[in-house]
Amino acid sequence: MGLEIDHAHGSYVYTKTGRRYLDFLAGIAVANIGHTDQRVVDAIRRQAEQYLHVMVYGEYIQTPQVKLAEKLASVLPKSLSCLYFTNSGTEGVEGALKLSKKFTGRSGLIGFHEGYHGDTQGSLSVTGREVYRRPFHPLLPNVTFLPFNDTASLSRIDLSVAAVIAEPIQGEGGIIIPDKGFFKALLTRCREVGALLIFDEVQTGLGRTGRLFAFEHFEIIPDILVLAKALGGGMPLGAFVASPHLMRCLSVDPPLSHVTTFGGHPVSCAAGLASLEIILNDDLPRKSREMGSAMLDRFGELAQSYPIISDVRGMGMMMGLDFSDPDKAHQFVQSALEAGLILGHTLHSNTVVRIAPPLTLSHSEMEEGMKIIEGALNLLCASPVG
C-alpha cells in the first residue's frame, strides 16, 4: 500500500503526511482491540522496565508467561489447558505438526485445498495452494490435500495420518465457511483412525468470528489449537495448545524436543494478557457478532444493487466481498484506499476483498466505512441496479 505510518489509535492509522485512514483490516485480524489501546501500552511499558529477555523459553519461570497461560487455560476446554508460546502463527503450526508426529509416531499429514497455514517450510507443506508451494519443493513428504467442506473425501484419512490441519474458516482462501456437520464428521473420522485434529485459529481466534474461539461455532473441540495474530495485542506472539498428556511427549526422547529462544517473550505476554482481559471484560465477541451481523446485512443490500458483487460471506467481523471480476476487486480496494479506507485482498483469491475491522469499531466508524465502500462501488459502476 505504500503508506508511511506516523501513529495509530483505535480504528485509525495516520500517515506522515497527516492523512487519516479508517482501518478495516486491523493489521489482518491482529488489532482486535484496536490500535495502541492505552491499557496494553501501559502493560508493555511496565514489563519493559522490569525485564526483557532473560533466558530461552521454559528455563525460567516468568510471570507474564504464567499469567497469560493461566488466563487462556481458564477460558478454554480442559483438554486444551497446556500452552506453548511461540513468536508467530507459522511457528505455532510448526510446533503443532511436530507434536502430532511425535505423539502418534506417524508421518502422514492432511491439509485442505486453498487452506493457508504460514510460509515456513512445514507450514507451507500443509498449505493447499500449489502456486505458493512449487518454488520451494521438495517440502515435507506424505502430505495429502482434500477438498474443504466435503465429507465424502474424509475416508481418505487413514492409519498413516498423524494429523489433519484445518482453519475453521478459510481466510486466505476467500472467507470460506464450512457446514457445521463437516467438522463433526472430520473429528469423528480422526477419532476412528487415531489421527489428531489441529485447528488453525491464527485468524479466527479471540473474538474475531463472534465467539471467543471459532471452534465453538462448530460444537467440537480440536486436539491441538494454534493461536497468533490478535493473541499479542499488537505484539508478536503465537501459541499451540493441547492437553498435558499430548504436550508431555515433547519433553522426552529427546528432552527439549521443541525449543525457542524468544517464544513467549515477557513483553509480548504482558501485552497479550492485557489484550485478553479487554476482550473478555468488554465482551468483544458479542460486539463482533452484533456489529458483524449488521455489516453483513448492509453488504447484502449492496450486493443487490451492485451486480459486480457476486457473493457476501462472513462470520462475526471476519467478512469477504466476492467480486465477479478480479480487476474490479483490485480497483475497488484502490478506490477505497484513496478515499481513506483500508481494505485488502485475500492471498489465495484474487476476487475476494477481506473486511476485518477492529472488534471495537463504533457505529459511526462503521457508517463512515460503509459510505466510502458505497462510493467506491459507484466509481466502478455507471449506476447501481434499482
* Count of CB atoms situated within 10 Å of the CB of 242: 27
> How high is the pLDDT of residue 1?
80
Rounded to 5 degrees, what angle do the CA atoms 32, 115, 120 make?
A: 80
Alpha helices in 130-265 (DSSP H): 130-133, 180-193, 244-247
Strands (E), 243-363: 309-315, 318-323, 341-342, 344-346, 349-355
pLDDT by residue, tens only, the chain of 386 residues: 889 999 999 999 999 999 999 999 999 999 999 999 999 999 999 999 999 999 999 899 999 999 999 999 999 999 999 999 999 999 999 999 999 999 999 999 999 999 999 999 999 999 999 999 999 999 999 999 999 999 999 999 999 999 999 999 999 999 999 998 999 999 999 999 999 999 999 999 999 999 999 999 999 999 999 999 999 999 999 999 999 999 999 999 998 899 999 999 999 999 999 999 999 999 999 999 999 999 999 999 999 999 999 999 999 999 999 999 999 999 999 999 999 999 998 767 889 999 999 999 999 999 999 999 999 999 988 645 54
The answer to whether the beta carbons of residues 89 and 241 sit under 8 Å apart is no
* 353 strand-pairing partners: 321, 345
> How high is the pLDDT of residue 381?
86
Query: How buried is residue 280: exposed, middle or buried, by Cβ count under 10 Å (0-12/13-18/19+)?
Result: middle
CATH class of 39-281: alpha beta
Helices 326-338 and 363-380, axial angle in degrees (round to 10)? 130
Instruction: Parse the chain into domains and list their residue ranges.
Output: 5-33+283-380, 39-281
The alpha carbon of 273 is separated from its chain's Cα centroid by a whole number of angstroms, namely 18
> How high is the pLDDT of residue 383?
47
> How high is the pLDDT of residue 99?
98
> How high is the pLDDT of residue 345?
80
Q: To the nearest 10°, the Cα dihedral for 302, 305, 306, 309?
A: 50
Full-prediction pTM beyond 0.85? yes
Shared fold status for 5-33+283-380 and 39-281:
no
Provide CATH code, domain 5-33+283-380.
Answer: 3.90.1150.10
**Which amino acid is it at 135?**
P
Rounded to 5 degrees, what angle do the CA atoms 6, 12, 14 make?
A: 20
